[in-house]
Amino acid sequence: MLAISLTPGTQAKEPFFEMQDLFGAVRLPTIVIATDGTILAFADGCRLCRRSEDGGKTWSAAQKVGDSPEGYPNAAKAIVDENTGDVLAACPSKGYQHRSKDHGKTWSREDMKVLPNQAGHGALDGVPVYTLGSEGGITLKIGKHKGRLLMPVRFWPLPLEKEGNADEHWPYCYNTAIYSNDGGKTWQVAEPVQTGTGEGTLAELSDGRIYYNSRSHMSVDHRRRIAWSHDGGQHFADWSVSDELLESAAFASKFATQRGYGCNAGLARMPSESVKQKDVLLFSTPDNPGGRHRVNMTVWVSLDGAASWVKKRLIHKGRGDYSSLTVGKDGMIYLLFERDGIKQMSLARFNLAWLLAGETVKKP
């Protein structure tokens, strides 16, 4: 097992793993941890929420988040404002968000002011950006942008309500982000990440850089697309592909034999309170490179801020689709994912010791 230093008071060094079902046949998971330690598991694009106040051992019944409507184009994503303790379920494509000031117990709806980027993308009176399928957001903790709320989003050239996820539009899609410097009152759409991407994840490293990991609709190499921001998520550069994080093929596309289709993924950084290493990242997605099915839900670990991925461990061998990751200050890891042909949404709860006892990632 790789040597890694845990900080005092974290989860025991003995491997721990547990899995339970939280929702039935719903999609679009997001999991976050409120500032009081309450774990919030969201489903159906943040329309439903379950709360745990005991580290994921027991859960409340599912509650509806405010007046969130059904339907994928309305899908929101959650972010915890670590400056105020508020939890937001943001839906920029519709110009509203739900806010909770009591760690997910109650919610109120408010308008969401979204400012377009330099290309004019993101304006509600034009073509908006969508949180649909992307990972949840984060509060930046380092540098001059400390306190900024940052969330991955995606741009479509035509509204989803009219065209859906049509193949011919993929070359014109791109991932980006939205950020807020005023606690979510105003959101700015960032500049593009890369064309042909959709459903992104991001994490802040100890030097303030933002690591952006994207699903790719257009690749023939089945590799995740990587980009970096050096200004708190406003611009993205240094594009590359991952040689270790690979995707399934295009089982849902008429171009299945020509190019990849990929999958949503989860991403989280281990909190500084839980490990002494600065940039321990976790990544989750089905592990079936180039395959026609989303199977083998797996979590990878990087000990050097995504420069390399050294270990991976299988969570569920059968069908596994979208996923979301978060980590408590005590080092407990939470993975919420769609399971068994989207018949269940399950929560896997485990520690780093269990994960590091997994398989060594093969170098290309």
Class of domain 17-360: mainly beta
Q: How far apart are CA 24 and CA 62, in angstroms?
A: 11
Residues 287/314, Cβ–Cβ less than 8 Å: yes
Q: What is the DSSP string of 114-170?
A: EE--TT-TT-TTS--EE-TT----EE--SGGGTT-EEEEEEE-SS-HHHH-S-GGGG
Give the ranges where the chain is alpha helix by DSSP (H): 160-163, 352-356
Cα-atom radius of gyration of the chain, to the nearest Å? 19
Pairing status of strand 48-52 against strand 63-64:
antiparallel
What are the pLDDT digits (tens) for 77-98? 999 999 999 999 999 999 999 9
Comparing CA positions, the residue from 30, 20, 23, 15 lying closest to residue 265 is: 30
Phi/psi-derived region of residue 56, left when phi > 0, alpha when psi is between -120 and 50, beta in every other case: left
Listed range (122-131, 224-233, 251-260) with the worst mean pLDDT: 251-260
Provide mean pLDDT across the span 129-156.
95
Retrieve residue 238's tokens.
Answer: 């240094």
Domain-wise residue ranges, the chain: 17-360
Q: Provide the strand spans (E) within 274-358.
A: 281-286, 295-302, 311-327, 333-339, 344-350
Q: 255 pLDDT exceeds 60?
A: no
Q: How far apart are CA 358 and CA 310, in angstroms?
A: 10
> What is the predicted pLDDT for the residue at 361?
95
Q: Give the single-character DSSP code of 93.
A: T
End-to-end CA distance of the chain: 21
Q: 300 pLDDT exceeds 80?
A: yes
Q: 250 pLDDT exceeds 80?
A: no
Retrieve residue 340's tokens.
Answer: 């068994």
115 half-sphere exposure, CB direction, 13 A CA radius: 12
> What is the predicted pLDDT for the residue at 315?
98
Provide mean pLDDT across the span 289-315.
95
Q: Which residue pairs, CB below 8 angstroms and at least 24 apart, start in 239-243?
A: 239/193, 239/194, 242/213, 242/309, 243/363, 243/364
Question: Could you give the percent of the chain with pLDDT greater than 70?
Answer: 92
Question: Could you give the percent of the chain with pLDDT greater than 90?
Answer: 74
What are the pLDDT digits (tens) for 47-75? 999 999 999 999 999 999 988 888 777 89
> What is the predicted pLDDT for the residue at 5?
65
80 half-sphere exposure, CB direction, 13 A CA radius: 21
Provide mean pLDDT across the span 249-265.
66
Provide mean pLDDT across the span 286-308.
94
Q: 220 pLDDT exceeds 90?
A: no
Provide mean pLDDT across the span 173-182.
96
Predicted TM-score (pTM) of this structure: 0.95
Q: 256 pLDDT exceeds 80?
A: no
Q: How far apart are CA 265 and CA 139, in angstroms?
A: 19
